[in-house]
């Protein structure tokens, strides 16, 4: 790894942490080539995290991602960030074989009273595979009231009040905090979110575990966390996905919000990534590639997540055939 004195100016590769979930399957192994600890179903892999529930270890570093960010705040986050600013995101892969609970995350104001000590949770999904008949519920239908949602949570008809669409590979879904949402039926996707685990379950599809117990619901907290001004959420599809052979690599905007910018780089030709000046994270969502920087070249396989410190000089992404890369950047 190349370093300039004490400057942290090299690619960081976090070690993934898979998590067993009742709604998961085995796509993290079969589609992404991950080694899973056992034969259970796995719904999540935490790829880059400084959340207390998981501190990402890094290949070739004794210090974890929390410690490196604390010790090199300007190198990792960029100039103009406060020295005590934490690593801002939690990056995941999600294997939504069954239905995730209907849920909502609080914004920066509501989290102070609904979940003290946690952060707000804005997130975005990028779908790379979806079975026919799979669904994304995102946002309330027009005119839905709190009393309707409260009653429908009790009688099992919450989905009737939510906007819904069938996802396709290449769909990007931005879910600001306060948006009611759910997904399932066979969807594999990458997620970029604020570093938070504040989730309130409004409905869990009457699911029971092997002992006949239901998961806890958070009805009143969910209703309090909802942003009632938000209506249906529709996906955004970039015109450069899926990439095809001979397609020149292009960078397309997906999401612009105060917490992250999200772009899609896709094509079949090398592309010099802009010198960030701010933290960015790369997630390989199609094919394989090589990433070259400061005379070093490393492979990037489908599903890999790389943390790019602000101090890193220009890097070149070279797909090995048609490939695609999600690029999350910390806004200035």
pLDDT surpasses 50 at 2: no
Burial of 299 (0-12, 13-18, 19+ CB in 10 A): exposed
CA–CA gap between residue 111 and residue 122 (Å, rounded): 12
Tell me the per-residue pLDDT of 114-167, one tens digit each, with 9 for 90 and over: 999 999 999 999 999 999 999 999 999 999 999 999 999 999 999 999 999 999
Q: Over the range 147-186, which residues count as b (16 or more CB within 10 Å of their CB) and which as e?
A: ebbeebbeeeebeebbbeeebebbbbbbbbbbbbbbbbbb
The mean pLDDT of 193-201, rounded to a whole number, is 97
Domain extents in the chain:
17-235, 250-329
Distance in angstroms (rounded) separating the CA atoms of residues 318 and 25: 31
In CATH, the number for domain 17-235 is 2.60.120.10
- Domain 250-329: which topology? Jelly Rolls (2.60.120)
250-329 has the same fold as 17-235: yes
pLDDT for residue 4 is more than 70: no
**d(Cα 233, Cα 217) in Å, to the nearest integer?**
24
pLDDT higher than threshold 70 for residue 311: yes
Predicted structure pTM score: 0.96
């Amino acid at each position: 790894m190349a370093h300039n004195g004490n400057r942290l100016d090299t690619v960081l590769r976090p070690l993934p942490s898979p998590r067993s979930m009742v709604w998961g399957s085995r796509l993290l192994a079969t589609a992404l080539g991950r080694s899973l600890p056992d034969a259970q179903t796995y719904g999540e892999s935490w790829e880059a995290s400084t959340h207390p529930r998981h501190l990402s270890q890094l290949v070739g570093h004794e210090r974890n991602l929390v410690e490196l960010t604390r010790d090199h705040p300007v190198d990792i986050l960029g100039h103009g960030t406060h020295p005590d600013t934490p690593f801002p995101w939690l990056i995941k892969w999600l294997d939504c074989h069954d239905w995730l609970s209907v849920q909502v995350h609080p914004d920066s104001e509501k989290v102070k009273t609904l979940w003290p000590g946690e952060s707000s949770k804005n997130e975005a999904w990028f779908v790379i595979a979806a079975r026919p008949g799979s669904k994304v519920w995102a946002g309330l239908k027009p005119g839905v009231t709190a009393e309707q949602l409260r009653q429908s949570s009790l009688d099992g008809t919450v989905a009737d009040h939510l906007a819904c669409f069938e996802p396709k590979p290449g769909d990007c879904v931005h879910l600001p905090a306060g948006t009611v949402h759910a997904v399932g039926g066979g969807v594999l996707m990458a997620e970029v979110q604020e570093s938070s685990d504040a989730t309130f379950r409004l409905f869990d599809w009457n699911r029971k575990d092997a002992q006949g117990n239901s998961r806890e619901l958070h009805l009143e907290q969910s209703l309090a966390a909802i942003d009632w001004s938000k209506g249906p959420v529709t996906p955004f599809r970039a015109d450069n996905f899926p990439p095809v052979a001979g397609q020149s690599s292009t960078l397309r905007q997906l999401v612009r919000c105060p917490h992250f910018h999200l772009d899609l780089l896709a094509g079949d030709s090398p592309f010099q990534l802009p010198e960030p000046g701010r933290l960015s994270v790369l997630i390989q969502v199609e094919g394989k590639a090589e990433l070259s920087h400061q005379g070093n070249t490393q492979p990037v396989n489908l599903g890999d997540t790389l943390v790019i410190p602000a101090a890193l000089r220009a890097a070149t992404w070279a797909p090995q055939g048609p490939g695609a890369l999600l690029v999350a950047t910390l806004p200035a």
